Amino acid sequence: MTEHRPQPPPHVRVAVIGSGFSGLGAAVRLRREGVTDFVVLERADAVGGTWRDNTYPGSACDVPSHLYSFSFAPHPDWPRSFSGHEDIRRYLEHVTDTFRLRPHLRLRHEVTRARWDEDRLHWRLETTGGTLTADLVVSATGPLSDPQVPQVPGLDTFPGEVFHSARWNHGHDLRGARVAVVGTGASAVQFVPEIQPQVARLTLFQRTPPWVLPRADREIGEAERRLHRRLPFTLRLRRSALWGVRELQTHAFTRWPSELALAERSARRHLARAVTDPALRARLTPDYRIGCKRILLSNAYYPALARPNVHVTGALAEVRGSTLIAADGTATEADTLVFGTGFRVTDLPIADRVVGLGGRTLARSWQDGMRALRGTTATGFPNWLTLIGPNTGLGNSSMILIIESQLNYLADFLRRLHTLGGRVALTPRADAVDAWNATLQRRLARTVWNTGGCRSWYLDAQGRNTTVWPGTTSAFRAATRRVDLSEYEVLRPARPRATGPAGAPRAAAQLP
């Protein structure tokens, strides 16, 4: 009788988790590096990441289109200077087709567990579409992927429709409804003006008002697009100019926050022009330095709040059936409740599913705050790279610039593994991560995000800034240009761990 042994799961060189900008960018870079043995695991049924999920009315990017695209995939046909989610998603579909990524896609494959096998030196990934193993994993799930809904007392007693802006219920008719909106972040600033004319009454529950600047959006005409198509260097010049302005602005956020006073005056004038009621204007005026929270762009938000069917109140404190109680005790009746309360940024859900050396989860490793060497690798998680990881966020520029820098790091990581030869893995040394993080936190201490007098999603539950990069995008690119083996331990099968061939670790990781 023939014994049937279970077949091992399929194995790939690299597994990428997520198919937003960072996941697709990783896939393109892998192909360019000659790596074709990889898959892109996506929990949904299409690519696009946050631009697939955030379909709320008015959803658009607040970074200029020509800067919010890959440098290796310039797009001369952006229809507007600030593009909407549909155009951005079409761009990502175009990238997928142009670089022949579809054969690598594994749609409806949500990763439920990722466990490091210390004997075989590879990752075992359990997904809703099956199990596989991989030598290296690129986590590209992004920080804006899992909605954050506050735990409001009595929320389960609300009898009406409840949804988050990132999971917009397009089948629910808002015409004539009494709508309550919780949150005043980037999403709410975009969808509130869109739904305000439809609803009978809109109550905005505001914990703290945001700083809002005018949005210099316009249609890009055919003549302008044709110029970029025929003379590609004009597109490069446009992108360079957009980038350069934001590089200069970075110093006001990171070194001299007092220079942001000019932007504050502009925001106050913007508010005064749209809101004539002094009481409402006072309620909408922030009491913290601009830039401490994300600066928002809108020409329609303030005019919408000044309409007769809109009421702005304090934070939502309690729900009693269809009655919503604000922090100041004000009661409001509503039949639809929309949360525009952002995402789980400082406690990434995937961290609970990742198990590294010694059976320790990434969530446990980060229980005192997210930390990663050069924003990419974490101690105890060999051959695991996170794109848009800890302290890689930006307050005023395009995250695509950060992603492309991390793709350089990924490419050099693969080269180092190849040079070391055989079955091998790299995990960052704890002292290297400590030194890197200590330098980051010293730099962050003087930035507007830490000194601006606000509480924002940039900070974790302990008040630490674990999300923002305290420098220019060019400085980050320099910091991630190559992998320094002195910051890593080299792991091989059945051998004790040794330090990297470059010798003893540095006393402190230096930022450019």
Residue 6 has a pLDDT of 72
Question: Same domain for 335 and 359?
Answer: no
Return left, alpha or beta for 323; rule: phi > 0 is left, psi -120 to 50 is alpha, else beta: beta
Q: Are residues 306 and 371 in the same domain?
A: no
Alpha helix positions (H), 33-83: 50-53
- Same structural domain, 437 and 491: yes
Number of H helices, E strands in the chain: 14, 21
Q: What is the pLDDT of residue 18?
A: 98
Helix axes 399-420, 21-32, angle to 10 degrees: 40
| Amino acid found at 314 | G
- Domain assignment present for residue 505? The answer is no
Question: In this structure, are residues 413 and 385 in contact, taking their beta carbons and an 8 Å threshold?
Answer: yes
Query: Could you say which of 339, 360, 382 is where a domain stops?
Result: 339
307/257 same-domain check:
yes
Same domain as 191, residue 119: no
Do 365 and 492 reside in the same domain of the chain?
Answer: yes
Query: Which two structure tokens, joined as six digits, stand for 425?
Result: 């893995």
In a domain, 452, yes or no: yes
The candidate with the shortest Cα–Cα distance to 479, out of 417, 391, 415, is 391
Q: Which residue has the tokens 């397009």?
A: 170
DSSP 8-state symbol, 328? T
Q: Give the pLDDT confidence score for residue 2 in this predicted structure.
A: 52
- Residue 236 located in a structural domain: no
Q: Pick the last residue of a domain from 305, 322, 339.
A: 339
The CATH number of the domain where 477 resides is what? Answer: 3.50.50.60
Final residue of a structural domain among 274, 304, 339: 339
Residues 291 and 171 in one domain: yes
Residue range(s) defining the domain that contains residue 431: 11-146+345-499
Pick from 143, 278, 264, 254: which is nearest to 210 by CA?
264
450 and 424 part of one domain: yes
- Tell me whether residue 292 is in a domain: yes
d(CA 192, CA 470): 32
Residues 397 and 481 in one domain: yes
CA distances from 473 to 96, 98, 273, 458 (A): 25, 27, 34, 18
Question: What span, in angstroms and rounded, lies between the C-alpha atoms of 122 and 11?
Answer: 9
CA 223 to centroid of chain Cα atoms: 34
Q: In which element (H, E) is residue 213 found?
A: strand 212-213
How far apart, in whole angstroms, are the C-alpha atoms of residue 400 and residue 21? 7
The verdict on residue 238 lying in a domain is no
Tokens 């249609």 identify what position?
219
Residue 507 lies in a domain: no
276 and 248 part of one domain: yes
The H or E element containing residue 97 is helix 85-98
Tell me if 203 sits within 8 A of 313, measured CB to CB.
Answer: yes
310 and 278, same structural domain?
yes
Answer whether 356's CB lies under 8 Å from 450's CB: no
- The pLDDT of residue 7 is 80
Number of structural domains found in the chain: 2
Task: Render each residue's pLDDT in the chain as its tens digit; 512 residues.
Answer: 455 677 889 999 999 999 999 999 999 999 999 999 999 999 999 999 999 999 999 999 999 999 999 999 999 999 999 999 999 999 999 999 999 999 999 999 999 999 999 999 999 999 999 999 999 999 999 998 899 999 999 999 999 999 999 999 999 999 999 999 999 999 999 999 999 999 999 999 999 999 999 999 999 999 999 999 999 999 999 999 999 999 999 999 998 888 899 999 999 999 999 999 999 999 999 999 999 999 999 999 999 999 999 999 999 999 999 999 999 999 999 999 999 999 999 888 999 999 999 999 999 999 999 999 999 999 999 999 999 999 999 989 999 999 999 999 999 999 999 999 999 999 999 999 999 999 999 999 999 999 999 989 899 988 999 999 999 999 999 999 999 999 999 999 975 544 444 444 333 344 44
Asked if residue 1 is part of any domain, the answer here is no
Note whether 337 and 159 are within 8 A (CB): no
In a domain, 428, yes or no: yes
CA–CA dist 232, 246 (Å, integer): 22
Residue with tokens 């995937």: 350
Selection from 424, 393, 204 nearest residue 301 by Cα: 204
Statement to judge: residues 93 and 200 lie in one domain? no
